[in-house]
């Protein structure tokens, strides 16, 4: 470490690579623990790079202040415990010599990250102990990094300080750990229970003097750098410096005699300082615990040499007598009383009591109160008292049964409580810790945040960050839409071309990959969602018959190209696209053959009417059915009309062939990229009965008949309500009100400039409608829709920042209901899509006369399949394998997971639009808090698994 010059004054200054020995062995059962309060942790700024140096050791502070002008003392950073306290976590110091930076963390993954960034980094051990969680006034210590990858970190304990750092350009990393604020009055600081730690002893071989330190780092430094010292191992055990509860042992260095001197006496302190010695501050403390018996006590004798005025510290009478005899030292009469061992020697005779604790796991009300109830028993005595702890903080105690404590005014946060029972002989038994979570009131997000999140949920394949939400909240809905409307898309055909060049041939899977590339990566999310919505109305599918890869890719390009265009253009391009031609058999359909008795193919004619444009019954603009005088709905067409359109659509086949040659019509050479062309001699010459009495005259060209027929469809009043209702269902809600459908259909009928069929105007109307944007309407039991399974999957991949080594994916067949999602783009079971816009889910939904399209593919079986799919995704934190393996980045969530409230709130906003109910919140917080805080990844994964099945995620509102 850089500050190792601490030993420079020719004596035993071992610098301050303080590697405090890990006291985890004492964490649960040591019975020499005693009440303790937090002590100051000092902060210095490394003036070379503006990075922080923290230490709780007084000798270190004194040395830095006096000898290292390159470090500026900034006062007390915060307060923490000097040795292992109940429910505390050790804060280690790392140091990189190459970067000249120190780094502090309580997390092993942080340590690994620092080590991988700076291979020369050394773990200098635990400097102090931080309380786990909030409580007793603890606050979050937030870590900041220097911008642009520069080395160095700073740690702040207040929002104001954080803001200052942010303004200065520092980058907020995360919450590091908790501690008590610098300005906190000592009296207000909570009392915890600390364990004793070892104190090491050395003898300087030439000068014959003792050096004592509680720091393993100092010990190691001396062992490896100072051969003039002889290690004598652990001298005794002592608590940390805590002047209010135990007598502190002050370390002095006397430059004249070149010796260290230790004392807990005020009088000696004063006189020794007056003799010219430098006080290095309190180093450790002595106070034998009440229950320690003689066998546990280490008496430390101080010996002074009459001529050198140097000191030796002997830990036994025989050692004392030997040194007096050998070196001529005299007994100085001053005696320190420390612990010989860390555990009491009588623990085998008096059995410790046992205690269990009951506490409410979750409190939703603030300010919250909790009754802690302990059940304690002692087999060989009686229970003297029971103490209650929140983390390291002692809440209170009671000596009367039933042993209860009423904990009141608990601030929101996550806590770990425990009880300690003490028997009549002073033996202690501890309960296991119980999580207690107190949630903030559920209105953690503003209405504008919720609505921005709702818009992004409705109109994208998943929210990537809270920043995205805040951006939309700031800019507003229309600004976001206008931004999206001008964004382009990457050609799916080009993707297939590239894949073909890479892999030697085009494969159907490439068409699916192109779809997912767009969904997962492209900024033009609204276009992608619209193209997907259109693909669920104008359905083609590779289930049967097999479609050409380029046919599918080119068709997706068509839908993207027309996503914000005009419905009439879209309908025309769809009709002549070879993929649709092949799928619904218009490609190759020819005029009637009286000899063979054949007729033009009716497939496309029927479905374009029933599914792509007007539907079976006449509709009012608000989507309700027109009713005849008999009270019954009125059919939009009959078989004559289907046959009429079939005739009007006859005579078309693949482009790039000689259309004057009837022999080439069937079979024609395939062309999957260009619109189909007409063979006039194959076109039905007679009249064609269309909708609403329109009759096409005989002998028009194929093109003229096609255009007239599509115009006839396009101008039918059903198109607006029929198409708009389905678009609302795909983006916003399954059961829009008639008024909502009417408003959107009105935009279809006239975009405000007299244009019919403007899909940009339609989409704007769908997403800006008061019904879509209202936060009050969504509380109605009938509001909402199930997020489609593939969209839920995309939400996870985008929301958890999935990336693959090549940037590509291999998301292919998700339609299997047993193992997949029961849905997959371009793989619908038929032209009727995966689900019908009119599907009724039996039960309360159907009883309320509501449709629930997505529930058609939601069965007891597909539910098992898809939830297992999500659980596996979360468990592996990845989808796929090899160079297209999409790996989820859970780092941010893992950092939040220390506090379940923070984790759940983050997921609430990003995946539930901030609409999580209190009851769901209660369940999630309780269960996450029940998982160990030391395993944040477990918490994150449990949270995501619960998220995947929770109604508030699955149902979009």
Partner 1 sequence: MLTRRQFLHLLGGGAAAGLGGFADLRNIAAAADLNMKAAGEDYRALVMLFMFGGNDGNNTVVPTASGEYSQYAAGRTSVLALPTAQLLPLTITNTPGRTFGLHPAMSGMQGLINTGKAGIVANVGPLIVPTTKAQLRARSVPLPNDLYSHSDQQQQWQSSISDGAPRTGWGGRLGDLVAASNGTNRTSTCISVTGNNLFEVGTTLTSFKVSPGNQFGFDFYKGPTSTEPLSQGITELMAMNSGNLFEGAWKDVIARAIENQKILADALATATPFTTTFPNTGLGQQFQMIARLIRVRQALGLKRQVFFASIGGFDTHGDDQLQRQTELLGAISGAVTAFYNATVEMDVANQVTTFTASDFNRTFRSNGKGSDHAWGNHHFVVGGAVDGGKMHGTFPTMGVDGPDDTGGGHFIPTTSVDQYSATLAKWFGVSVGDMPTILPGIGRFPVSDLGFMKAVA
What x/- string results for residues 776 through 795 when contact with partner 1 is judged by CB under 8 A?
---x-xxxxxx---------
Tokens found for residue 492: 């799916």
**Alpha carbon distances (Å) from 909 to 77, 519, 785, 829:** 33, 21, 18, 35
Which of residues 62, 357, 420, 642 is near partner 1 by CB under 8 A? 642
Tell me: does residue 610 bind partner 1 (CB under 8 A): yes
Among 1, 138, 393, 852, the residue binding partner 1 under the rule CB under 8 A is: 852
The span of 21-29, 259-267, 506-514, 582-590 binding partner 1 (CB under 8 A) equals 582-590
DSSP-derived letter for residue 363 is E
Site string for partner 1, 899-928 (x = CB under 8 A): ------------------x-xx--xx-xxx
> Contact between 284 and partner 1 (CB under 8 A)?
no
Rule CB under 8 A: choose which of 818, 883, 889, 934 binds partner 1.
818
Nearer residue to partner 1 within complex by CB, 197 or 435? 435
With beta carbons less than 8 A apart as the criterion, state whether 578 and 566 touch: no
Under the binding rule (CB under 8 A), the answer on residue 951 touching partner 1 is yes
CB nearer to partner 1: give 753 or 860: 860
Pick the closest to residue 96 from 1, 174, 225 (CA basis). Answer: 1
Please, which of residues 724-763 interact with partner 1 by CB under 8 A?
734
Among positions 76-105, residues that touch partner 1 (CB under 8 A) are none
450 binds partner 1, rule: CB under 8 A: no
CA angle at 535 for the pair 711 and 796, rounded to the nearest 5°: 150
Residue 720: count other Cβ atoms within 10 Å of its Cβ: 27
Residue 184 contacts partner 1 per CB under 8 A:
no
Task: Cite the beta strand spans of 243-382 per DSSP E.
Answer: 248-254, 259-263, 278-285, 297-304, 311-314, 330-339, 354-358, 362-363, 368-377
Please report which residue ranges of 227-353 form alpha helices under DSSP H.
Answer: 266-274, 317-327
Question: Is omega for the bond preceding 367 within 30 degrees of 0, making it cis?
Answer: yes
Q: Compare residues 505 and 596 and give the one whose CB is closer to partner 1.
A: 596
Shortest distance, position 579 Cβ to partner 1, whole Å:
13
Looking at the Cβ atoms of 113 and 871, the one nearer to partner 1 is: 871
Query: Which of residues 235, 817, 886, 904 is near partner 1 by CB under 8 A?
Result: 817
Using the minimum distance from each CB to partner 1, give the nearer residue, 525 or 589: 589
> Which H helix or E strand runs over 516?
helix 508-521
Spatial contact of 953 and 792, defined as CB atoms under 8 Å apart: yes
Helix (H, G, I), strand (E, B) or coil at 735: coil
Residues 821-840 that bind partner 1 (CB under 8 A): 829-830, 832, 836, 839-840
Tokens coding 587:
């490609």
Q: Is residue 653 at the binding interface for partner 1, with CB under 8 A as the rule?
A: no
Per CB under 8 A, 882 contacts partner 1: no
**Among the candidate windows 246-254, 302-310, 474-482, 860-868, which touches partner 1 by CB under 8 A?**
860-868
20 DSSP β-pair partners = 126, 215
- Both tokens assigned to 178: 């908790």
Within 349-368, the residues that bind partner 1 by CB under 8 A are: none
Q: Which is nearer to partner 1, 182 or 865 (CB)?
A: 865
Comparison of 88 and 433: residue with beta carbon closer to partner 1: 433
Q: Least distance to partner 1 from the beta carbon of 610, Å?
A: 6
Residue bearing tokens 């939309």: 472
The structure tokens 């444009």 sit at: 613
In the complex, least distance from residue 743 CB atom to partner 1, rounded to whole angstroms:
23
Residue 861 in the binding site for partner 1 (CB under 8 A): yes
3-state class (DSSP) for residue 813: coil
Q: At closest approach, how far in Å is the CB of 598 from partner 1? A: 4
Report the residue number, 461 or 783, with the smaller CB distance to partner 1.
Answer: 783
How many Cα neighbours within 13 Å face the side chain of 634?
13
CB 313 within 8 A of CB 201: yes
The residue among 13 and 921 lying less far from partner 1, judged by its C-beta, is 921
Contact 208, 308 (CB under 8 A): yes
Residues 512-551 that bind partner 1 (CB under 8 A): 543-545
Phi/psi at 171 (5° precision): -110, 125
Smallest distance from partner 1 to CB 87, Å? 19
Contact stretch for partner 1 (CB under 8 A) within 167-175, 327-335, 522-530, 580-588? 580-588
Examine residue 6 and tell whether it contacts partner 1 (CB under 8 A).
Answer: no
Q: How far apart are CA 179 and CA 192, in angstroms?
A: 13
439 touching partner 1, by CB under 8 A: no
Among 848, 881, 889, 934, binds partner 1 (CB under 8 A): 848
- DSSP-derived letter for residue 463 is -
Could you write out the DSSP letters of every residue in 180-217? B-TT--GGGSPPEEE--EEEEEEEETTT--EEEESBHH
Nearer to partner 1, 329 or 870 (CB): 870
Number of Cβ within a 10 Å radius of residue 149: 8
Shortest Cβ distance from residue 602 to partner 1 (Å)? 4
CA distance 458 to 441: 26
In angstroms, rounded to a whole number, what is the distance separating the alpha carbons of residues 853 and 841? 8
* By the rule CB under 8 A, 844 interacts with partner 1: yes
| Residue (189 or 817) nearer to partner 1, CB | 817
Site for partner 1 in 304-333 (CB under 8 A): none
């Amino acid at each position: 470490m850089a500050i190792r010059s601490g030993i420079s004054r020719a004596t035993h200054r071992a610098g301050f690579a303080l590697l405090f020995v890990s006291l985890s062995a004492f964490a649960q059962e040591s019975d020499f623990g005693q009440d303790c309060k937090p002590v100051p942790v000092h902060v210095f700024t490394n003036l070379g790079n503006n990075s922080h140096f923290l230490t709780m050791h007084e000798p270190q502070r004194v040395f830095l202040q006096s000898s290292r002008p390159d470090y500026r003392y900034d006062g007390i950073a915060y307060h923490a415990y000097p040795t292992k306290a109940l429910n505390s976590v050790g804060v280690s110091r790392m140091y990189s010599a190459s970067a000249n930076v120190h780094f502090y963390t309580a997390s092993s993954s942080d340590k690994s990250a620092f080590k991988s960034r700076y291979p020369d980094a050394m773990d200098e051990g635990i400097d102090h102990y931080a309380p786990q969680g909030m409580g007793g006034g603890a606050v979050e210590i937030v870590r900041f990094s220097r911008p642009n990858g520069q080395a160095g970190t700073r740690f702040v304990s207040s929002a104001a300080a954080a803001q200052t750092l942010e303004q200065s350009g520092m980058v907020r990393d995360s919450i590091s750990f908790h501690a008590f604020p610098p300005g906190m009055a000592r009296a207000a600081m909570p009392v915890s229970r600390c364990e004793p730690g070892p104190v090491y002893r050395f003898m300087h071989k030439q000068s014959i003097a003792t050096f004592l330190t509680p720091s393993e780092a100092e010990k190691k430094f001396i062992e490896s750098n100072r051969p003039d010292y002889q290690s004598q191992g652990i001298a005794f055990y002592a608590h940390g410096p805590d002047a209010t509860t135990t007598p502190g042992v002050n370390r002095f260095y006397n430059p004249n005699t070149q010796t260290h001197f230790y004392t807990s006496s005020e009088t000696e302190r004063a006189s020794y300082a007056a003799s010219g010695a430098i006080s290095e501050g309190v180093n450790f403390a002595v106070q034998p615990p009440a229950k320690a018996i003689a066998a546990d006590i280490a008496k430390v004798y101080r010996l002074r040499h009459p001529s050198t005025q140097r000191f030796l510290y002997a830990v036994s009478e025989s050692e004392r007598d030997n040194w007096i005899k050998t070196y001529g030292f005299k007994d100085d009469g001053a005696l320190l009383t420390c612990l010989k061992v860390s555990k009491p020697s009588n623990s085998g005779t008096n059995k410790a009591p046992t205690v269990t604790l009951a506490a409410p796991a979750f409190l939703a009300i603030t300010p919250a109160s909790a009754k802690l109830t302990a059940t304690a028993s002692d087999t060989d005595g009686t229970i003297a008292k029971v103490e209650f702890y929140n983390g390291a903080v002692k809440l209170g105690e009671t000596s009367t049964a039933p042993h209860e404590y009423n904990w009141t005014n608990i601030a929101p946060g996550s806590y770990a409580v425990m009880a300690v029972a003490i028997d009549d002989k002073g033996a202690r038994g501890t309960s296991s810790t119980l999580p207690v979570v107190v949630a903030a009131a559920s209105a953690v997000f503003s209405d504008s945040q919720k609505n921005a999140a709702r818009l992004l949920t409705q109109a994208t394949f998943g929210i990537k960050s809270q920043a995205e939400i805040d951006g939309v909240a700031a800019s507003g809905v229309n600004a976001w839409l206008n931004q999206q409307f001008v964004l382009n898309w990457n050609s799916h055909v080009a993707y297939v071309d590239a894949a073909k060049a890479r892999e030697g041939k085009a494969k159907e899977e490439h068409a699916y990959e192109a779809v997912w590339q767009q969904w997962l990566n492209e900024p033009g999310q609204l276009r992608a969602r619209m193209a997907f919505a259109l693909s669920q109305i104008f359905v083609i599918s590779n289930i049967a018959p097999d479609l050409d890869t380029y046919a599918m890719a080119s068709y997706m390009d068509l839908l993207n190209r027309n996503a914000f265009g005009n419905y009439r253009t879209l309908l025309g391009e769809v009709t002549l696209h070879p993929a649709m031609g092949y799928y619904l058999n218009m490609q190759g359909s020819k005029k009637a053959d009286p000899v063979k008795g054949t007729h033009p193919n009716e497939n496309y004619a029927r479905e374009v009417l029933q599914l792509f444009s007007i539907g079976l019954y006449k509709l009012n603009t608000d989507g309700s059915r027109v009713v005849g005088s008999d009270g019954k709905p009125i059919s939009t067409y009959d078989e004559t009309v289907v046959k009429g359109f079939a005739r009007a659509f006859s005579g078309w086949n693949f482009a790039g062939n000689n259309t004057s040659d009837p022999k080439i019509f069937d079979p024609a050479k395939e062309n999957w990229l260009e619109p189909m062309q007409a063979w006039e001699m194959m076109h039905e010459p007679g009249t064609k009965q269309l909708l609403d009495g329109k009759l096409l005259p005989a002998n028009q060209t194929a093109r003229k008949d096609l255009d007239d027929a599509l115009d006839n469809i396009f101008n039918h009043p059903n198109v607006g309500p029929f198409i708009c209702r389905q678009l609302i269902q795909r983006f916003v809600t399954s059961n829009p009100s008639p008024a909502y459908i009417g408003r959107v259909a009105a935009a279809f009928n006239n975009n405000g400039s007299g244009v019919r069929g403007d899909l940009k105007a339609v989409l704007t109307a769908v997403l800006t409608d008061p019904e879509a944007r209202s936060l009050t309407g969504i509380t109605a039991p009938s509001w909402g829709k199930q997020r489609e399974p593939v969209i839920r999957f995309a939400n996870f991949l985008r929301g958890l920042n999935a990336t693959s080594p090549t940037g590509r994916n291999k998301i292919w067949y998700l339609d299997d209901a047993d193992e997949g999602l029961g849905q997959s783009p371009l793989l619908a079971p038929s032209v009727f899509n995966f689900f019908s816009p009119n599907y009724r889910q039996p039960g309360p939904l159907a009883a309320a006369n509501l449709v629930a399209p997505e529930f058609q593919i939601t069965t007891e079986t597909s539910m098992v399949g898809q939830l297992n799919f999500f659980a596996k995704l979360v468990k592996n934190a990845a989808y796929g394998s090899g160079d297209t393996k999409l790996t989820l980045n859970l780092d941010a969530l893992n950092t939040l997971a220390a506090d379940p409230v923070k984790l759940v709130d983050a997921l609430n906003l990003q995946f539930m639009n901030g609409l999580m109910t209190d009851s769901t919140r209660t369940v999630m917080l309780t269960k996450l808090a029940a998982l160990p805080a030391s395993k944040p990844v477990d918490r994150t994964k449990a949270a995501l698994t619960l998220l995947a099945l929770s109604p508030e995620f699955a149902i979009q509102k």
